[in-house]
Structure formats: C-alpha cells, structure tokens
Amino acid sequence: MKYSQYIFIIILSGILNACDNSGGEVVNFDRQAMLTNYAENIIVPGYQVYQQEVANLETVVNTFTSTPDADNLNAVREVFKDTYLSWQRVSFYEFGPAMDQLLRTSTNSFPADFISIDNNIASGDYNLESLSNNDAKGLPAIDYLLYGIAEGEIAIVNEYVNSENSRQYLIDVIADMKARIDAVVTEWTSGEYSEDFISRDGTDVGSGLSMLVNTYNQHFERFTRDAKIGIPLGIRSSGIPIPNNVEALYSGISLQLTLANVRAIYQMYWGQSPVLSQDGIGIHDYLEALDVQFNGSTLSEEIDQRYSAAIDLLETIPPPLQTAVTDHQTAVEAAYNALQVLVVLNKVDAASAMGVTITYADNDGD
C-alpha cells in the first residue's frame, strides 16, 4: 500500500456500538470518531483548498481581463488546472451544503455547451442561475473559454482583447463558482454543519455515514465510471466512442482529472486527509472492524487491491483521453471494467456490510 509514509493513527475506542437498528453487527467501532475525521480532516480542508484555488483563479482572471496577453493567459491556465484538480478531491461529497448549492451540477457539468456559451457571450444577456445554463458555466465553461473559444493562443488572447462580453463572461462564471463554494464552506464551518454531520452517527437514512456512502457511490458510478470514462468510450452509444464528451476536452487534462478523482475517493475510503497528510479512521477501518470476508480474504483488502488496480490501469492509458477512446480502446475498456468492479464492491458488498441502504436509483418510477 503506497501510503505507508503517513502516520498511522487508529483509535479503537472502547465505545461499543451495539446492534444498530439497521442490522450492523456488534463491533468495537466508534462511528462518531470516523465522522469527525471525515468532517474535520478531510471534507472541510478539501473544500477550503478548492475555495482557495477559486479565489486564486479570480485574482489571475482579473489580471488577465484587465490586460489580456499571452503571459496572463498562461497564468490563468495554470491556476485553472490546479483548481480543476482540487475540485476532483471534493466533488463526491454532494450532500448537505453542497447539495443545497447544487455544487457539482453548477461546477462541473460537462461536456460544455459551447453553443450556449457563445450565444450568452454574443447577447450579453444571461442568468447563470437558470438551470439551462448548468453546462454553460463552471469549470467546463472555463476550459472552453481558455482553450477552445478560438484557434490557438494568439486568437484566444485576441478574443479577450476585443470582446468585453467574453471578458465579462469569464468573470461571471468564476463569480458563480466562488459564491457557491464560499456558501458551502461557511455552512460547514460557522454554519455548524460539521457538528450536525458528526452527530448523525447511526447508519440509517439521513445519518452521516449513509449520506457519505450514498453520495460517493452515486458519484463513482455516474461521474467517475460513466461520465469521465464510460460515456466517451461509447458505453451508452452502442460502442461508438464520443470523444467530445470527455471532461476537460479543450485543455486535454481528462486523465489527470480522473486519476485525481479516483485517488481522492480511495484516500477518503482509507480515512486519509490528502491535505493534512495524516491518516485517520475511515470506511476501511469500519469494514475491518466488521471483519467482512470476501473470497477467502477480507472485503477491505479486496477493495484496497481493486482501487490500486484501477489506478494502475488508468495510468497506462496514453493521454489525451479524447484520442485514447478511439485509438487505445482496449486500455480504456480495461480501466472502465476495473472501475465497474469497484462500483459493485462498494455499492453492494461494502454498503450492506455497514448496514447502509443505497437510496439512489435510476429515476424511472412515477
């Protein structure tokens, strides 16, 4: 396991968690300590890093829109990539304050609807809060605005030299992102959502663990496995690849983003803070305490290996992804299948072992 350099702190407290009404076994495990680790060491610091990146992005964009030139464009691009990576590390906590802000939908609905973006810029008349603009804003929009709005760096700089509407649109998109992450961080900190989350230490619907398990599973299935890899690969289009549906199409950093996302979810599973460089109590520890068996080994060991395998396979795909889905299909398929195995292990085996009901389903009922 690659993270052995982290200080390994496990606190197995003496608090007995007797039979939950959700049917978990009797184990020596402090769920509240786990939730505390998640809230204080992983989720809030992760959001704060992303929040800082967005603030940085706003600063460099202000410089760029005041003085559009190649150097300033590159400065924006660098911060943009850092922002996109830091987003990958928090995108799956879509519950509570993030849900209230529709954070993921507002921040990362891809592919970007460049036609709407162009129209919005041309008319100068748009309301970014309308649901119809979900895919005309956020990071995918910035990806287009910085790399795709014209052909080549010089043309892109000229776009911003010449068009006040374009400059304003870039500013407005970032303002929308900033308002939302600021609201989320405020809610978790001074809004005391952290305390609320930590206090819900059961496994029933509405408990901290249930929200976490449901949201990261839904994210892993629909966004990591499908949106980032499967749909561009052609899984939903009878095997016909759709390269233009990759994340970060214009900057070409799709695979970096996917890897950052999978790694972050893996670390979350371990209870490790990617920001504070420390290890803590996580779902992995809960599964260990429950001593869940799987195919001659433990479930936690199996999941651990599967995460490593998926990450290895993602790393062997030759970038950029939009080319790989047509030219290196086997490699992309292998990664997709590895992600699918994890979906099942997490959504079916791990969730039921922990006594957590998966409540999201593909919308079909009336």
Q: Give the shortest CB-364-to-other proteins separation in angstroms.
A: 6
Cis, bond preceding 241 (omega within 30 deg of 0): no
| Binding residue for other proteins, selected from 13, 28, 67, 132, defined by CB under 8 A | 132
DSSP letters, 232-262, are: HHTTTTTT---GGGSTTTTTT-HHHHHHHHH
Contacts of 236 (CB under 8 A, 6+ apart): 226, 230
| Binding residue for other proteins, selected from 125, 151, 330, 362, defined by CB under 8 A | 362
Residues 274, 264: Cα–Cα separation, whole Å: 7
Residue 205 engages other proteins in binding (rule: CB under 8 A): yes
Query: Please, which residue, 70 or 205, has the CB nearer to other proteins?
Result: 205
| Binding residue for other proteins, selected from 75, 222, 301, 352, defined by CB under 8 A | 222
Q: Which helix (H) or strand (E) holds 340?
A: helix 329-344
| Binding residue for other proteins, selected from 192, 236, 316, 344, defined by CB under 8 A | 236
Query: Please, which residue, 79 or 128, has the CB nearer to other proteins?
Result: 128
Residue 100 engages other proteins in binding (rule: CB under 8 A): yes
Residue 64 sits at the vertex; the CA angle it makes with 59 and 65, to the nearest 5 degrees, is: 100
Residues 222, 232: Cα–Cα separation, whole Å: 13
Residue 134 engages other proteins in binding (rule: CB under 8 A): yes
Q: Give the shortest CB-176-to-other proteins separation in angstroms.
A: 12
Residue 330 engages other proteins in binding (rule: CB under 8 A): no
Query: Please, which residue, 129 or 164, has the CB nearer to other proteins?
Result: 129
Residues 306, 220: Cα–Cα separation, whole Å: 14
Which parts of this chain interact with other proteins (CB under 8 A)? 94, 99-102, 104-105, 109, 129-135, 205-206, 218, 222, 236, 360, 362-364, 366
